[in-house]
């Protein structure tokens, strides 16, 4: 065999090996990308975590001059089933979101954190919109009763620390507006 023929044969083998190496790398990358994408799409779709739904807005007002302290979008719990579920099983909530619980009448209210993954601030409010109790930075999964100090008709839950960050205190007020349904 001549030297030139030997070089061409070796050169062709190298090209063939490089081609297969690149091809394998490309295929492996595509397969990994497809598997990762499918996993996240499937995981997100099959999550048991309830989806947050905007059903209204709550505005927090200072007790002294009725100045707006902050405003959040809320999901509304206005029947027994929704009130029992609350924010349980949710792993996160945006700063500008919360849940408004509406009760049929003014009475002492009590909440707990069983099956609630994230820490919350829980505000108890009377029928006139006055915040009478705030439980700040609640303990996730706790079965300790968190009661209102006075009779309440509304409860608002927001992410832990929200009241401190926005200067919301007992005695301040809320106003709420429900979306048309």
Tens digits of residue pLDDT in 60-115: 999 999 999 999 999 999 999 889 888 999 989 999 999 999 999 999 999 999 99
Given a contact cutoff of 8 angstroms between Cβ atoms, the answer to whether 157 and 98 are in contact is yes
Tens digits of residue pLDDT in 88-100: 999 899 999 999 9
pLDDT at 21 over 90: no
Better-scored residue on pLDDT, 44 or 108: 108
Q: What's the rounded Cα separation, in Å, for the pair 45 and 97? A: 22
How many Å from the N-terminal Cα to the C-terminal Cα in the chain?
A: 87
Tell me the pTM: 0.73
Instruction: List the structure tokens of 2.
Output: 């001549």
């Amino acid at each position: 065999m001549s030297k030139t023929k030997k070089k061409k044969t070796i050169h062709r083998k190298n090209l063939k090996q490089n081609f297969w190496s690149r091809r394998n790398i490309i295929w492996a990358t595509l397969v990994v990308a497809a598997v990762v994408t499918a996993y996240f799409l499937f995981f997100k779709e099959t999550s048991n975590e309830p989806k947050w739904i905007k059903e209204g807005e709550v505005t927090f007002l200072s007790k002294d001059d009725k100045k707006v302290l902050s405003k959040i979008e809320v999901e509304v719990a206005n029947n027994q089933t929704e009130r029992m579920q609350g924010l349980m099983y949710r792993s996160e909530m945006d700063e500008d979101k919360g849940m408004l619980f509406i009760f049929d009448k003014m009475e002492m209210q009590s909440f707990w954190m069983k099956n609630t993954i994230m820490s919350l601030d829980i505000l108890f409010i009377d029928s006139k919109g006055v915040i009478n109790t705030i439980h700040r930075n609640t303990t996730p999964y706790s079965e300790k009763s968190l009661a209102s100090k006075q009779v309440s008709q509304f409860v608002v839950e927001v992410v832990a620390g929200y009241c401190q960050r926005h200067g919301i205190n007992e005695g301040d007020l809320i106003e709420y507006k429900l979306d048309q349904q």
